[in-house]
Amino acid sequence: MTDDESPGLGLDLPAQPLEKSASASPYRVLARKYRPQSFAELIGQEAMVRTLGNAIASGRIAHAFLLTGVRGVGKTSTARLVAKALNCIGPDGNGGPTIDPCGVCEPCRAIAEGRHIDVTEMDAASHTGVDDVREIIEAVRYSAVSARFKIYIIDEVHMLSKNAFNALLKTLEEPPAHVKFLFATTEVNKVPVTVLSRCQRFDLRRIPAEALVAHFHRIAEIEQVEIEPDALTLVARAAEGSARDGLSLLDQAIAHGAGTVTADAVRDMLGLADRGRIRRLLTVLLSGDAAASLAELDEAQALGIEPTALLRGLMEQVHAASRAKAGGGADALASAEEREGNAELAGTLGWSQLHRLWQLLLKGLSDVTAAPDPNEAAAMVLLRIIHAAELPDPAALIARLQGGGETATAPARPRAPAPAAPAMTAAPAPTPAPAPAAPAEPEAPASFAVLVDAIEARGKALRAVQLRDQVGLIRYAPPELVLKPLQPLGPNFTRELADDIRAALDARWTVTLGDGEAEPSLHAQEKMAEERARDAILAEPAVAAVFAAYPGATLESVSAKDANHA
């Protein structure tokens, strides 16, 4: 089908004569062949088109426009359309500025073909200097030769040098009435604020995948190409909101499939793992089967699937399950089977598991990208996910740690009267003998830290400092205490400590030193609790918002109460 027979979609080059053979016409890629030639063909930017249409209709046309957005959403095409809209004279030559340029008058055709003398398009990536801008400044003084407005389109304007921007400022703020500036950029943050304040800014949105699918379907019909709906969906998703990227992929898919495009062929072309394989791998991971997970990875590697594509697929599954669990709308492009699987996964996994999976996959993706061997890194990521699944839930872990003191002291209580048992059998006459032991049991401190506080309360501050900083606890089973020295202690340390305990508790204790595995010192534990409390405070959304608003802010201290709660 020739270009002249392409309904509803414009061209950026003049139509070829019908008598000219197809072989004599150079092939144009779809991204150029179907570049929008009117605002009606510009997909996904309805809000911007409505604003421009109202401005043109009311005559409130700004002297400078800044178009920003990701690649392939139509920035340069929009700039050319604005140039046509402002200079269109209609088929009869008597028309004025319009949001619907005719496309047949001489200004419209000349602008579309890039040969209009009053419409200058400059690539700032290759014309970055002040001399290039000086040429524009000199030229704006002269009126347009044949058009209503003299228009300057500067693509990738953020590439201009600082001096070039400064040279342009005065002219940009107060240009002659016959001059309009149209800037396009993908990195608006690099454009000076002084330039932004002199322009009307339009942020072009990423094109929705549904709109891309419909657009690609129309093009496939015009090109007489058979393409499966799932293949169109894959191309639209891979385009990531860019019409140009999607058309380039569609062009490649058509060539790959020799006129017939299937979903499997697109997956092979893009190196994507199919959805069924992703769901199967996620199921194996959640079951904790390491061997089966590695086998799935090896099979994907043999099929040529990139590890990064595999991990991205897993992340998409986790994200879809999280949206389903939160009650968010399902992906309009997802099949009924995928939606059912996402709902089932959302019902099976809790929020903590979903968040943990996401963080592990996100970290794993960066590891795979940076690793010398991506396949080895992907295997380690899968194993990390499997073993992380065995970790307890954070809330359960906190509850277990908080209950650790009670479980540790629970077995100690029956051990306290153990030495009294032989005494009771040796002298059974005094039946009230067990009575003193029963009330004495609650007097034993609940933990080593409480024991140290009791010693300090009896005026033994130096001994308390020594116990907090210089020893680690091996076993605390009143009236038995086993400590590990972390620093050199005196030769009479155990005897003196036993005397201090007897003075504080009015009870005899056995104190020994050992070399076994010990807890950190009480001082170190307090520091760790303070760090946990600090991290918990910094993780609070309100606190994070304060730090984002005040970058120089710092958290100076954490109270003992916060540290204990941590």
State the alpha helices, DSSP H only, in 9-74.
Answer: 30-33, 46-58
Confidence of residue 558 (pLDDT cuts 50, 70, 90): low
- Tens digits of per-residue pLDDT, 436-487? 444 444 468 888 888 888 888 888 888 888 888 888 898 888 888 889 888 8
Burial of 286 (0-12, 13-18, 19+ CB in 10 A): middle
Say if residues 8 and 34 touch (Cβ distance below 8 Å).
Answer: no
pLDDT for 548 equals 77
**Res 538 pLDDT > 70:** yes
| Amino acid present at 194 | T
- β-partners of residue 209 are none
Average pLDDT over residues 393-398: 62
Scored b (16 or more CB within 10 A) or e, 53-77 reads eebbeeeebebbbbbbbeebbbbbb
β-strands 480-485, 471-477: how paired?
antiparallel
Backbone φ and ψ of 71, nearest 5°: -65, 145
Burial (CB count within 10 angstroms: exposed 0-12, middle 13-18, buried 19+), residue 23? exposed
Distance CA(488)–CA(421), nearest Å, equals: 37
For residue 311, how far is the Cα from the chain centroid? 14
For the chain, the structural domain boundaries read 45-203, 275-388, 523-565
**Residue 424: per-residue pLDDT:** 38
- The pair phi, psi for residue 155, each rounded to 5°, is -85, 145
Separation of alpha carbons 298 and 106, rounded Å = 61
Q: What is the DSSP string of 65-88?
A: EEEE-STTSSHHHHHHHHHHHHH-
- Structure-model confidence comparison of residues 541 and 155, the more confident one: 155
pLDDT on residue 386: 87
- Model confidence at 561: pLDDT above 80: no
Which residues, including other chains, have CB under 8 Å from residue 131's CB and lie 6 or more apart? none
Q: What is the CATH number of domain 275-388?
A: 1.20.272.10
Angle (CA) 252-255-260 rounded to 5° is 110
Selected from 3.20.20.150, 3.90.870.10, 3.40.50.300, 3.40.50.140, the CATH number assigned to the domain covering 45-203 reads 3.40.50.300
Residues 337 and 282: their CA atoms lie apart, in Å, by 16
Look at residue 483 and give its three-state secondary structure. Answer: strand
* pLDDT per residue as tens digits for the range 231-283: 888 888 888 888 999 899 888 888 877 668 888 888 777 766 667 788 888 88
Alpha helices by DSSP H, 118-184:
130-139, 162-173
d(C-alpha 44, C-alpha 209), whole Å: 10
The CA distance from 357 to 368, in Å, is: 16
- Span 344-375, pLDDT tens digits: 777 777 888 888 889 999 999 999 988 899 89
- pTM for this structure? 0.56
Give DSSP secondary structure letters for 267-294.
Answer: HHHHTPPPHHHHHHHHHHHHHT-HHHHH
Positive or negative: CA dihedral 183, 189, 194, 199: positive
pLDDT surpassing 80 at residue 339? no
Q: How far apart are CA 113 and CA 12, in angstroms?
A: 6
pLDDT in tens, 24-57: 567 888 888 888 888 888 888 888 899 988 998 8
